[in-house]
Amino acid sequence: MPLKIIVTVKQVPDTHNVSGDAMKPDGTVNRAALPAIFNPEDLNALEEALRIKDTLGGTVTAVTMGPPGASEVLRECLYRGADDVVLLSDRRFAGADTLATSYTLACAIRKLGDFDLILCGRQAIDGDTAQVGPQIAEKLGINQFTSVSEVIDVSTDHITVRRTIESGFEILRSGLPVLLTITSDANEPRPPSAKRAMAYKRIGRQACQGDFDEAYIQPGVCGPLDFIREWNADSIGADPQRCGLSGSPTKVKKVQNVVLTASDSRKVPNTDADIAKLIHDLIEENILG
Amino acid sequence: MTEAKNVMVFIEADRGRVADVSLELVCEAGRLAERLGGTVEAAAMGYGMTEALADLGRYGCRRVYYTEDRRLERFASVPYAKITADIIRRRTPKVVLFGASTTGRDVAPRVASILRCGLTADCTELDIGDYRFKDRQWEDVLLQIRPAFGGNIVATIVSPESVPSMATVREGVMRLIESDPEARAEVLREAVSLGGDDFPTEIIEVIEQERCVDLKSARIIVAAGVGASDPESLKLVRQLARLLGGVVGASRPVVDACVLPRDHQVGQTGTTVRPNLYVACGISGQIQHRAGMAESKRIIAINRDPDAPIFDVAHYGIVGDVREVIPRMIKAYKVRGTL
């Protein structure tokens, strides 16, 4: 029996390469000045899903929530081998914290029907919360393994993983379905396939309201996708009160620039005498023994 | 029902020993509870921990709600989340704190999802204060302060309507203070019915891996950045660390390039440190790095680029090549006392 695997992905601003003009004078971040990228650990989650599919057969469905532009990461998923992709886009999803995000994603996953595995990146580099994965698992009533650095074995009814913890590793086993959050150590994501990139470069989006047709994603049955399905709150049966800003218990009270400065700072010239004096001072202060 | 004002800490333990981060949080909970006029409570699960839990009294914990079951000896997401949510529902604390460890960051979101309450990840500072939005005002809410956007900004998050407000807190940022060595916490058994379905995880093996370096308790750290990642500079960094009785740290790019193992990484995605002396060698000082070491008592920065941001947090800035400066430091230290 082939596995049905769901991967959640996110388009994020590239916070690890923040250049000067990405910070506004008031100390807040100018999101527009940062390039939008595929969240790095979500690529590891996608890769793990594709590897499992390569071994056992099945389908890989990538789901993202975001503005229409976020469909770019879904295209990237198609280039790498995803069978199906879904964009969750609705003004009512905007301003979501992790609770509202996980609710929306869980509604969409439920709508996709039965599944065996959900793979998420461990965390997204814009928020670094690592909360959405476990919250999806709870909402769907399934088991979870976070910080998975290796999928050791997977069959059609069980999975064994290595989970990285502070004191070493845990080797854990669970029946399916289960949700995993994957770390960057787990694998090296494959590059996009040129052939698939050609086929999907211009794939458009299409809003879908009607019932989801399972046959749509049977691999080899329907051939390549015609469009990226786009769902809103109504199409996934979500309660708008639990989505976006209104479904988010956490609020941002204020945002400050990070100002880190030493209380007293002095330059030490790079000479034998000055450095010897510095070492001497530190010994005098009992900083050095 | 009386208004919730107690502060609860989720207790994390390894083979019956309470984790340092949980002790730190009990201390911080004491500070917050005082502001709220409440007391410090704890939620714990495991086996054979009664004594260790009573000991939390030394750090200011008044009561521990404890579910004991042999199957809870090791952490597992599903039963731990279920029990913690049950305890919170019954005891209605105003604030619940978890360590931002692999355990806390696994269980806390699941608990928040069950209770549909607010949760803020990886806080570095907590406080109690007011929150105003439009014409409404909430008093005595938990202010959850955390780096955001890859550490480029610091955000204050509130969950004004959420009971409780929950946060995970980074290890090593809250001070551990033993307030009363004689005090004992009252340990109350909390019965939770657990069936086979609550244990979907089979623990096959636990592999202990000694950390190759203990940055957290190091008094002196000599850290290598990209400007000190060539073999010659790295050798000097190691030599200096050994000579001063310290350990070797690293910036993220050095770890990402596999020059040093991840245990050595200082910074927001690595370990937060506050040693007596931090020597930053060839580290430019990205905000993520500075956020993890700026609290060091003394900081020496060595960098060829006089405009490197690391100099902003350094007490002593030396502009120059690591391969020139470190030998001078080594020489000076070796002849100490002869000055």
Dump pLDDT digits (tens) for B67-96. 999 999 999 999 999 999 999 999 999 999
* pTM metric for this prediction: 0.85
At B212, list the tokens: 């190759």
Task: Say which amino acid occupies A245.
Answer: L
What integer pLDDT is reported at residue A224 of this predicted model? Answer: 64
Over residues B195-216, mean pLDDT: 89
Residues of B within 8 A of A13 (CB-CB) are 149
Integer Cα distance of B119 and B234 in angstroms: 41
> What is the nearest CA distance from B286 to chain A, expressed in angstroms?
9
Give percent above pLDDT 90 in chain B. Answer: 76
Give percent above pLDDT 90 in chain A. Answer: 70
Give percent above pLDDT 70 in chain B. Answer: 99
Decide: residue B200, CB within 10 A, 0-12 exposed, 13-18 middle, 19+ buried. Answer: middle
**Confidence category of residue B145, pLDDT binned at 50, 70, 90:** very high
End-to-end Cα, chain B, rounded Å:
71
What integer pLDDT is reported at residue A261 of this predicted model? Answer: 66
Nearest to A171 among B133, B204, B291 (CB): B204
Integer Cα distance of A178 and A142 in angstroms: 6
What integer pLDDT is reported at residue A213 of this predicted model? Answer: 52
- H-helix or E-strand containing B158? strand B153-158
In the CATH hierarchy, which fold is given to the domain comprising A3-247? Rossmann fold (3.40.50)
Helix (H, G, I), strand (E, B) or coil at B235: helix
Q: Is the minimum CB–CB distance between A195 and chain B shorter than 8 Å?
A: no
pLDDT tens per residue, range B214-260: 888 889 999 999 999 999 999 999 999 999 999 999 999 999 888 89
Instruction: Please give the residue of chain A at the shortest CA–CA distance from B161.
Output: A249
Over residues A261-270, mean pLDDT: 80
> What is the nearest CA distance from B196 to chain A, expressed in angstroms?
13
Given a cut of 50, is residue B339 above it in pLDDT? Answer: no
Give the residue among A156, A175, A184, A9 at the shortest CA–CA distance from A84.
Answer: A9
**Confidence category of residue A262, pLDDT binned at 50, 70, 90:** low
H helix runs in B71-115, sequence order: 77-91, 104-115
Instruction: Please give the torsion angle defined by the CA atoms of residues A277, A282, A283 and A288, in that order, rounded to the nearest 10 degrees.
Output: -130
Q: Under an 8 A CB cutoff, do A279 and B329 touch?
A: yes
> What is the nearest CA distance from B34 to chain A, expressed in angstroms?
23
Give the residue among B173, B189, B179 at the shortest CA–CA distance from B53.
Answer: B189
Report which of residues A227 and B279 the model is more confident about. B279
> What is the nearest CA distance from A61 to chain B, expressed in angstroms?
24
Give the list of residues 6+ apart from residue B117 with CB closer than 8 angstroms, or none: A99, A249, B159, B162, B163, B164, B165, B166
Mean pLDDT of chain A: 89
| Preceding peptide of B181 cis, ω within 30° | no
Q: Under an 8 A CB cutoff, do B204 and A173 touch?
A: yes
Integer Rg of chain B from CA: 23
| Domains of chain B with CATH codes | 7-198 (3.40.50.620), 220-336 (3.40.50.1220)
Over residues A44-50, mean pLDDT: 98
Mean pLDDT of chain B: 92
Neighbours of A205 (CB within 10 A): 15
- Residue identified by tokens 């009814």 is A157
Over residues B152-173, mean pLDDT: 91
What integer pLDDT is reported at residue A26 of this predicted model? Answer: 57
Nearest to B120 among A169, A250, A267 (CB): A250
The 3-class secondary structure across chain A, one letter per residue, is CCEEEEEECCEEECHHHCCHHHECCCCCECHHHCCEEECHHHHHHHHHHHHHHHHHCEEEEEEEECCHHHHHHHHHHHHHCCCEEEEECCHHHCCCCHHHHHHHHHHHHHHCCCCCEEEEECCCCCCCCCCHHHHHHHHHCCEEEEEEEEEEEECCCEEEEEEEECCEEEEEEEECCEEEEECCCCCCCCCCCHHHHHHHCCCEEEECCCCCCHHHHCCCCCCCCCEEEEECCCCCCCCHHHCCHHHCCCEEEEEEECCCCCCCCEECCCCHHHHHHHHHHHHHCCCCC
Q: Under an 8 A CB cutoff, do A127 and B119 touch?
A: no
Q: Is the minimum CB–CB distance between A147 and chain B shorter than 8 Å?
A: yes
Nearest to A99 among B116, B156, B313 (CB): B116
Given a cut of 80, is residue A94 above it in pLDDT? Answer: yes
Given a cut of 50, is residue A152 above it in pLDDT? Answer: yes
Cα–Cα–Cα angle for B267, B270, B272, nearest 5°? Answer: 55
Given a cut of 80, is residue A22 above it in pLDDT? Answer: no
Integer Cα distance of A274 and A277 in angstroms: 5
Residues 88-127 of B with CB under 8 A from A: 101-103, 105-110, 112-114, 116-122
Given a cut of 90, is residue B301 above it in pLDDT? Answer: yes
pLDDT tens per residue, range A237-258: 999 999 999 999 999 998 877 6
- Mutation pick from B12, B128, B153 vs chain A, by most beta carbons of A within 10 Å, is B153
Q: Is the minimum CB–CB distance between B145 and chain A shorter than 8 Å?
A: no
At B330, list the tokens: 């080594």
Q: Under an 8 A CB cutoff, do B319 and A267 touch?
A: yes
- According to DSSP, the β-strands at A227-231 and B17-18 are unpaired
Residues 35-64 of A with CB under 8 A from B: none
- Mutation pick from B124, B152, B213, B336 vs chain A, by most beta carbons of A within 10 Å, is B152
Q: Under an 8 A CB cutoff, do B153 and A144 touch?
A: no
pLDDT tens per residue, range B14-70: 888 999 999 999 999 999 999 999 999 999 999 999 999 999 999 999 999 999 999
Give percent above pLDDT 70 in chain A. Answer: 88
Which residues, listed in sequence order, are joined to residue A159 by a DSSP beta bridge? A154, A174
- Residue identified by tokens 């940022």 is B173
Does the complex come out with an ipTM higher than 0.95? no
What integer pLDDT is reported at residue A209 of this predicted model? Answer: 63
Domain ranges of chain A: 3-247
Integer Cα distance of A166 and A5 in angstroms: 29
Weakest-pLDDT range from A14-28, A48-62, B55-69: A14-28
